[in-house]
A and B are shown apart, each in its own frame.
Chain A
Amino acid sequence: MGKEPVAVVGIGQTKHVAARQDVSIAGLVREAAQRALSDAELSWVDIDAVVIGKAPDFFEGVMMPELYLADALGAVGKPMLRVHTAGSVGGSTALVAANLVAGRVHGTVLTLAFEKQSESNAMWGLSLPIPFQQPLLAGAGGFFAPHVRAYMRRTGAPDSVGSLVAYKDRRNALKNPYAHLHERDITLEKVQASPMLWDPIRYSETCPSSDGACAMILTDRAGAARSPRPPAWMHGGAMRSEPTLFAGKDFVSPQAGKDCAADVYRQAGIADPRREIDAVEMYVPFSWYEPMWLENLGFAAEGEGWKLTESGVTELEGDLPVNMSGGVLSTNPIGASGMIRFAEAALQVRGQAGEHQVDGARRALGHAYGGGSQFFSMWLVGAEPPTT
C-alpha cells in the first residue's frame, strides 16, 4: 500500500505589513486560516488536525504559543502539533501536515505558519548571549555576507547580480496584493545606490521584517474530489539537515540542500529540473541567494547560477521564473516565509496566482532553508495528481 496522494485545496494569507497593530497573534493566524478555509469552501469542523509552525518563540516572547492559539485555530478537541526548524519551519510545517495525510492518519489537515515580529525584536531574539558559543550580534546578514562573498570569489560573478535580483523581486511584489513591500517607484539605480549594510549586501538587497501568516488546507484523494477549485498535488517533499559548523561544510552550496532537492526530484520523477519545472519560489532573504540556490537546486551548473539571473531567465516573463510573488525579499514574517514559498508554488499550479501567475505553470517548486544554511525543506507540486 503506497502513500495517500496529498492535495492542496485551500490557501490563505494575510496582507503582510511591518506591524499589524489591529490584531492579536490569535487574530492574525485566524485571518489566514479563515481565508484558507474559504478558498477550500470548508469550515472548521471539516478539519481533523492542525499543524502550526513559527520561528523561535523569543520573536514574540511567547513560550509555545500553540497552546494559547488552540482556540483561535479551531483546534479544540483535535490534535495540534507545533513544528520549529528555524527559517525552514514554514516548509517543514507543511511537510509534517502532508505526512499526516500521506500516512492516512488524518483526512484533512489545516497547516499554518506565522510571525508577528512587531510584538518583539527579532534581532534581540537571535542575539541572547550564551556561554561558550559565538554570538550572532550582527543578525542574520552578518552571518550570511561572508558566504555571499565566497560565492562571488568562487564563481567570478560581477557585483551587479545581487541588485538585479532585488529589482526583479520588488517589481514582482507589486503584482502580489499580499506582499509587504510595494515600492512603486523602485528602479535598479535606487537598489544600487542603497546603503551597504554587510558588504556586499545592500539595504535594498535584504528582506523586511513582517507581521503575517500563511495557511493551507491539505487533504486526501477523497477530499480533493470535493474541492471546488483545482487542487495542487504534491509530487515530492523532503527535509534535510546538516550540522551548523564543521570543517567540511560548504556554506556556499550546502550538501543538505543538494540532497533535499535530489530526493524531491526522485519522488517527482524529475530528471532535468531546468526543463521540467515551470516556476520556483525559493527562500532568498538576501538577493545573492538566488544565484546560489539556482546552483544548489540543480537549475544551473556550479558557477553558472549568476548567468541565469543576469540573462533574465528568472524574471516573471523568463522561462524559469523565480519568486513570482516578490519572495522573502519583499515579505518576511520569518516563521511563515517558508510556507508562503510552498503556498505560492501551489497557487501557480492551481492557476490562482492572479497578476503574478506564470502562464501554463504545471509544476512548481517551493523551497525553504534555515539556521546557518543547515536546514532545508522543499516540495514540488503539480496541476495533475501524481501517477505513482
Chain B
Amino acid sequence: MAPRKPSVMRPAREVAIVAFGQTRHQRSTDELSEVEMLMPVLHEVLAATGLKTSDIGFTCSGSSDYLAGRAFSFTMALDGVGAWPPISESHVEMDGAWALYEAWTKLQTGEADTALVYSYGKSSPGSVRDVLTRQLDPYYVAPLWPDAVALAALQAQALIDAGETDEPALAGIATRSRASADANPHAQLGSSAGQGDYAVRPLRTGDCPPVGDGAAAVILAAGDRARDLCARPAWIRGIDHRIEAHALGVRDLTASPSTRLAAERAGVFERPVDTAELHAPFTSQEVVLRKALGLGDDVDVNPSGGALAANPVMAAGLIRLGEAAARIHRGASDRAVAHATSGPCLQQNLVAVLEGDAR
C-alpha cells in the first residue's frame, strides 16, 4: 500500500458521542422485524438525551440489503425513526461506524449540531458465512464461495507461520474476551462458551464470532450542545478510515497498514490510551490490530467482550465506538481508541480516538 502523508488530522469542530444504546444480541430473533429490533434502541438514546426526532439535525444509518434479503431494507427502518416532518438523512451500505463517520463529517460542516446514527443486522434468517462470500470479487472469487471463516483461517495461519501467535495464545484471547463479556448484559456469549473443535484449521469455534442479530444507536453532538446533553461527553479527537486492496494475494495478512494509517491520522499515537474497543471478529485479528495500533499490555482491550462475544454484522463496528464512549461517559476511561472493520481479513478499517474531559 502506497504510504500517504501520516499527518494527524485535527477536526475543526468538537464533536462527541453523547448517548449509546444497543440490543441484547441474540442468536435468532424470528419474532422481530428489523424495525422492531431497532425501535427500542432508538428510543433509548433519544430518552437518554431528552431529544425528539424533530430535534435531531442529521440522521445516518448503516445496514446491508444482503442480510435482510431484500432491496432497500433501510427504508423500512427509516419509517421507524418517524421521519415526519421530513428530516435530513442519509444511509451507508456499510457498518454503522461509517454512518457515524458521515454524520461526524456533516457536523464538521456546521450544518447540524446533533446527529442520530443507527445500524442493525439480522444474520439469523440465512447463513452469514455464505452471504458474506457475495462481497468478494464477483468474477474470480465469489463463484468459489470461500467463506469468512475460511479466509480468516488463512490469515490466522499466516500469523502462526510468521511466529506472531500460536493456538494457545489465540485461545487466551477468546477466553479473556468472553470472560469480560460476563459483565456485559448485551453480550450473546460469555465464559461458558468453550474453545470447541476446529471450524477451519487453525481456528476453533472459540476463535470465531457468534452469529447473531442486533442493533445499535448513538447520538452525536457538537460543542456546548454535547455538554448540555451529557455529563461527560466522549469527544471524538480524531477519526479516519482507510481501505486496502481487495485481493488477499496482494496483501500481507499479518499486518494492517490501513489501520496503522487511520490511527496516525486520528492521533492515536500522540498519547497513550487506556482502553481499546477493537472490531476483531476472529481472535487472530486482535493480534494484527494490537500490532497496528501499538497497544501495550497495560491497555484494556475489549472490556465489553468485543465481537467474539457479540457480532451483529453491520452494527458490531458502531458498537465498538459506543462501548468506548460509554466507558468514558461513566468515568471508566479517559482516552480510548475504537476500531471498526469491513471486508475480508480486515480489508477496510476505521479508527477513532475518544476522550473525556479532565477530571
Binding site for B on A (CB under 8 A): 1-3, 24-25, 45, 55-71, 75-86, 92, 95-96, 99-100, 102-105, 119, 125-126, 128, 130, 132-133, 238-246, 248, 254-256, 259-260, 371-372, 374-375
Q: Is the CB of A64 within 8 A of B342?
A: yes
Q: Is the CB of B33 within 8 A of A132?
A: yes
A210 to B307, CA, bound (A): 40
Question: Is B359 in contact with chain A by the CB < 8 A criterion?
Answer: no
Q: Is the CB of A126 within 8 A of B71?
A: yes
A245 to B82, CA, bound (A): 11
- Which residues from 5 to 45 on chain B have a C-beta closer than 8 Å to any C-beta of chain A? 9, 11-13, 33
A96 to B82, CA, bound (A): 23
Q: Is the CB of A128 within 8 A of B101?
A: no
A244 to B33, CA, bound (A): 17
* Given A85-B90, A128-B71, A100:B348 Cβ within 8 A: no
Question: Is B134 in contact with chain A by the CB < 8 A criterion?
Answer: yes
Q: Is the CB of B78 within 8 A of A63?
A: no
List 14 other contacts, CB 8 Å, given A57-B64, A70-B243: A57-B71, A59-B71, A60-B138, A63-B132, A77-B3, A81-B102, A83-B92, A92-B90, A100-B105, A104-B108, A240-B89, A241-B59, A243-B78, A244-B75
A245 to B347, CA, bound (A): 38
A375 to B89, CA, bound (A): 9
A3 to B132, CA, bound (A): 39
What are 19 pairs between A and B in contact, CB < 8 Å?
Answer: A3-B109, A56-B65, A62-B134, A62-B138, A66-B94, A67-B342, A67-B347, A68-B137, A70-B243, A79-B242, A80-B241, A80-B243, A82-B92, A84-B74, A100-B105, A103-B105, A105-B105, A242-B86, A242-B87
Question: Is B69 in contact with chain A by the CB < 8 A criterion?
Answer: yes
Instruction: Name A243's contact: one of B9, B64, B72, B79 (CB within 8 Å).
Output: B79
A79 to B87, CA, bound (A): 27
Q: List, in ascending order, chain A residues with CB within 8 A of B75's CB.
A: 86, 244, 371-372, 374
Q: Is the CB of B69 within 8 A of A130?
A: yes
Q: List, in ascending order, chain B residues with CB within 8 A of A126's CB.
A: 71-72
* Given A67-B348, A104-B108, A77:B2 Cβ within 8 A: yes
> How close is A355's CB to chain B, nearest CB, in angstroms?
35
Tell me the nearest residue of chain B to A256, going by C-beta. B86
Q: Is the CB of A86 within 8 A of B72?
A: yes
Q: List, in ascending order, chain B residues with CB within 8 A of A246's CB.
A: 79, 84
A83 to B103, CA, bound (A): 12
Q: Is the CB of B242 within 8 A of A77?
A: yes
Q: List, in ascending order, chain B residues with CB within 8 A of A105's CB.
A: 9, 11, 105, 108
Tell me the nearest residue of chain A to B80, going by C-beta. A243
A72 to B337, CA, bound (A): 31
> How close is B86's CB to chain A, nearest CB, in angstroms?
4
Instruction: Name A244's contact: one of B65, B76, B93 (CB within 8 Å).
Output: B76
Instruction: Return the 7 tightest CB-CB contacts between A and B, nearest first.
Output: A103-B108, A56-B71, A256-B86, A241-B89, A84-B93, A63-B66, A63-B135
> How close is B300's CB to chain A, nearest CB, in angstroms?
28
Q: Is the CB of A103 within 8 A of B243?
A: no
Question: Is B163 in contact with chain A by the CB < 8 A criterion?
Answer: no
Question: Is B147 in contact with chain A by the CB < 8 A criterion?
Answer: no
> How close is B81's CB to chain A, nearest CB, in angstroms?
8
Instruction: Name B343's contact: one of A1, A67, A241, A255 (CB within 8 Å).
Output: A67
> How close is B122's CB to chain A, nearest CB, in angstroms?
12
Contacting chain A: which of B181-189, B244-252, B324-332? B244-252
